[in-house]
């Protein structure tokens, strides 16, 4: 029974890590989209391309 409990706790840990990773990715993506919008509004082409590159790296 103890082995099953350890396995269950490990699976819960992995599930929690997955949820946290997804939340962090969503937050970072939203932050970059917001910064891209500001760069476009300001006409800042260099910042736009830098942020677009960061966004593409996150999606891989």
Query: Residue 6 falls within a domain, yes or no?
Result: no
**What pLDDT does residue 47 have?**
98
- Range of the structural domain that residue 27 is part of: 22-60
pLDDT in tens, 11-59: 999 999 999 999 999 999 999 999 999 999 999 999 999 999 999 999 8
- Domain assignment of residue 60, yes or no: yes
Predicted local distance difference test score (pLDDT) of residue 1: 60
Query: Would 28 be classed as within a structural domain?
Result: yes
| 42, 45, 48, 54 alpha-carbon torsion, rounded to 10° | -150
Q: Looking at the domain assignment, is residue 58 inside a domain? A: yes
Angle in degrees, CA 33, 36, 39, rounded to 5: 155
pTM over 0.85: no
Q: How far apart are CA 40 and CA 48, in angstroms?
A: 7
Q: How many domains does the chain have?
A: 1
Q: Is residue 2 part of a domain?
A: no
Answer yes or no: is 37 within a domain: yes
Q: Specify the DSSP element, H or E, that contains 59.
A: none
Tell me if 7 is assigned to some domain: no
pLDDT band of residue 2 (cuts 50, 70, 90) is confident
């Amino acid at each position: 029974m103890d082995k099953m409990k350890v396995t269950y706790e490990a699976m819960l840990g992995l599930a929690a890590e997955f949820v946290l990773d997804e939340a962090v990715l969503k937050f970072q993506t939203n932050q970059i989209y917001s910064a891209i919008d500001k760069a476009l509004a300001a006409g800042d082409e260099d910042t736009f391309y830098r942020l677009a590159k960061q966004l593409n790296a996150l999606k891989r």
